[in-house]
């Protein structure tokens, strides 16, 4: 029997990819006539890319959630591009002091070549659309901007009494977390910020930061454990400069939390009124953003990132309507 819609989720082991898959599984679990999911517990290896093409009905709608479009088949092909490093400019990388690792350098030509075979290219924000169009102009008219799905949590909109800040970022060299953590501690006063929870290990940071009494390193957390910190904290600190989306921006907006982040068009697009913006390398601006986030609340936005709307569109053929 031919499955109408097949979704490849290979490589969704952590970070934003795992977060996206969690939303998809929750949507399917609500009793929808869901698509066939392949690639669970698979790495996105060359052997998998070949294998996945051979085991799908020729007419099926194919959706790749992992940056590499399907190549074969008569059915419509959709790819979700979600890694900014595949489309980062040399200037951006130089500004971050970051040299791409060998694995990413190998992936880039594969991702850019495969996207040419996609009928629809889904990206989570306008900045990512611009990146893709810059490097692969042939697909510019096939690009659709659709923010990632984020369901509001049961506690969305509930107030908190303390002045805690959550920094929910997987550490990576290009994210410069040590620099950003030092900045937020120096910019804030004890009267305006009680504690910063960091989802990394203390050993990843310098001794001065490890010994600061306002910092608690909680390590990489399960989704349920991380959810408890979201409930506890008044605001989120998300200062990174290179992202394809930025889940904490959307999660803050969906759940009635403020998010302290850079004043960029991408962050304004995703976070909306939840954003407490600051300028890069401007300590006074960061201090003002922290005060704003701690003092002014926002209501949850339950519509913009609605998973039901997103997945119904993605799997129901809406992604291919021109």
pLDDT tens digits, residue range 70-88?
A: 999 889 999 999 999 999 9
pLDDT band, very low/low/confident/very high, at 320 (cuts 50, 70, 90): low
Assess whether pLDDT exceeds 70 at residue 321.
no
* Structural domains of the chain, with CATH: 5-149+306-320 (3.40.50.2000), 164-295 (3.40.50.2000)
- pLDDT tens column, 118-144: 999 999 999 999 999 999 999 999 999
pLDDT band, very low/low/confident/very high, at 37 (cuts 50, 70, 90): very high
Percentages helix, strand, coil for the chain (3-state, rounded to 5) are 45, 15, 40
Listed in sequence order, the residues at least 6 apart from 32 whose beta carbon sits closer than 8 Å to its beta carbon are 311
Highest mean pLDDT among 150-164, 218-232, 265-279: 265-279
Q: What CA–CA distance (Å, rounded) separates 173 from 156?
A: 32
- pLDDT tens column, 58-73: 888 999 999 999 999 8
pTM: 0.93
Cα–Cα separations (whole angstroms), residue 268 to 166, 217, 259, 272: 19, 28, 11, 5
């Amino acid at each position: 029997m031919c499955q109408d819609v097949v979704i490849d989720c290979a490589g969704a082991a952590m970070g934003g990819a795992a977060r996206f898959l969690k939303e998809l599984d929750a949507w399917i679990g609500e009793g929808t006539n869901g698509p066939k999911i392949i690639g669970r517990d698979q790495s996105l290896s060359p052997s998998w890319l070949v294998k996945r093409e051979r085991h799908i009905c020729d007419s099926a709608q194919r959706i790749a959630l992992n940056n590499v479009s399907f190549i074969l088949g008569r059915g419509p092909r959709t790819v979700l591009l979600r890694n900014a490093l595949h489309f980062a400019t040399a200037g951006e990388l130089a500004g971050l002091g970051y040299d791409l690792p060998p694995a990413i350098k190998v992936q880039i030509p594969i991702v850019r070549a495969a996207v040419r075979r996609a009928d629809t290219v889904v990206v989570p924000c306008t900045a990512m659309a611009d990146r893709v169009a810059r490097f692969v102009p042939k697909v510019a008219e096939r690009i659709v901007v659709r923010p990632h799905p984020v369901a509001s949590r049961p506690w969305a909109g509930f107030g908190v009494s303390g002045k805690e800040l959550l920094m929910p970022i997987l550490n990576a060299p290009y994210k410069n977390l040590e620099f950003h953590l030092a900045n937020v501690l120096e910019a804030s006063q004890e009267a305006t910020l009680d504690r910063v929870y960091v989802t990394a290990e203390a050993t990843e940071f310098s001794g001065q930061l490890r010994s600061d009494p306002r910092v608690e390193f909680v390590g990489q957390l399960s989704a349920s454990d991380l959810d408890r910190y979201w409930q506890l904290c008044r605001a989120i600190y998300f200062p990174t400069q290179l992202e394809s989306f930025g889940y904490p921006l959307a999660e803050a907006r969906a759940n009635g939390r403020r998010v302290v982040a850079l004043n960029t068009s991408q962050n304004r697009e995703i976070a909306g009124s939840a954003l407490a913006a600051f300028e890069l390398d401007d300590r006074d601006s960061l201090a003002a953003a922290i005060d704003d986030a701690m003092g002014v609340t926002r209501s949850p936005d339950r519509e913009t990132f609605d998973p039901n709307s997103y997945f119904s569109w993605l799997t129901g053929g809406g992604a291919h309507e021109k």
